[in-house]
Amino acid sequence: MFQPSAIALTLALLPLASLAQPAPAPAGTVACPALLQHTLPRLQDEKPQPLCQYAGKVLLVVNTASFCGFTPQYQGLEALHTRYKDRGLVVLGFPSNDFSQETGSNKQIADFCESTFGVKFPMFTKTTVRGPQAHPFYKALAQHTGQPPQWNFHKYLIGRDGKVVAAFPSATGPESRELVTIVEKLLVAK
């Protein structure tokens, strides 16, 4: 009668054991914090984009709209992204029609942002950012800060560790001293 050796039995059980525990992150990578464990479609082509790709970065998350008095902030957001991206800042834009100021299709929004303001920072498809239908990512942001977006261009700042550090109302522009000071402090922290 065949008796499996201890090595054969261990090798046979290895795949099951590896399913039971998450694999450690490869050396040089950052584990994805719970807040970023969402996938959303990219604005330009609607291809799924995991937010985990931004783990270890400083994130400025903004709900945007094309027909708002704060729409010119796109220019400042792009300037901020360009200025600090090599140090680890990523601006993430989430167009939303929650305030009835983003009526276009995803393609129209992408074309408007690119042609009018030269937006290159990552943007996602039109997203509900408040209320019971809010995307789970935005629900989590509101829960962590106690502040759902009150209007377009509300900003959340997330540290490299995936924790929400601050929330800023729409009137706080991307070039404001308060916001830039916190961004610079977060970029220095490891």
**What CATH code is carried by the domain that includes residue 184?**
3.40.30.10
What's the number of domains the chain is made of?
A: 1
What average pLDDT score do residues 25-31 get?
A: 61
Residue 8 domain-assigned? no
Residue 54 domain-assigned? yes
Residue 51 domain-assigned? yes
The 3-class secondary structure across the chain, one letter per residue, is: CCCCCHHHHHHHHHHHHHHHCCCCCCCCCCCCCHHHCCEEEECCCCCEEEHHHHCCCEEEEEEECCCCCCCCHHHHHHHHHHHHHHHCEEEEEEECCCCCCCCCCHHHHHHHHHHHHCCCCCEECCCCCCCCCCCHHHHHHHHHHCCCCCCCCCEEEECCCCCEEEEECCCCCCCCHHHHHHHHHHHHCC
pTM of the model: 0.84
What average pLDDT score do residues 159-171 get?
A: 97
- Write down the pLDDT at residue 28: 54
- Write down the pLDDT at residue 30: 73
Residue 3 domain-assigned? no
Q: Is pLDDT at 74 greater than 80 in this prediction?
A: yes
Give me the catalytic one of 32, 52, 68, 113: 68
Residue 13 domain-assigned? no
Domain that holds residue 92: 30-188
Q: Categorize the per-residue pLDDT at 29 as very low, low, confident or very high, splitting at 50, 70 and 90.
A: low
Q: Is pLDDT at 160 greater than 70 in this prediction?
A: yes
Establish whether 52 is a catalytic residue: no
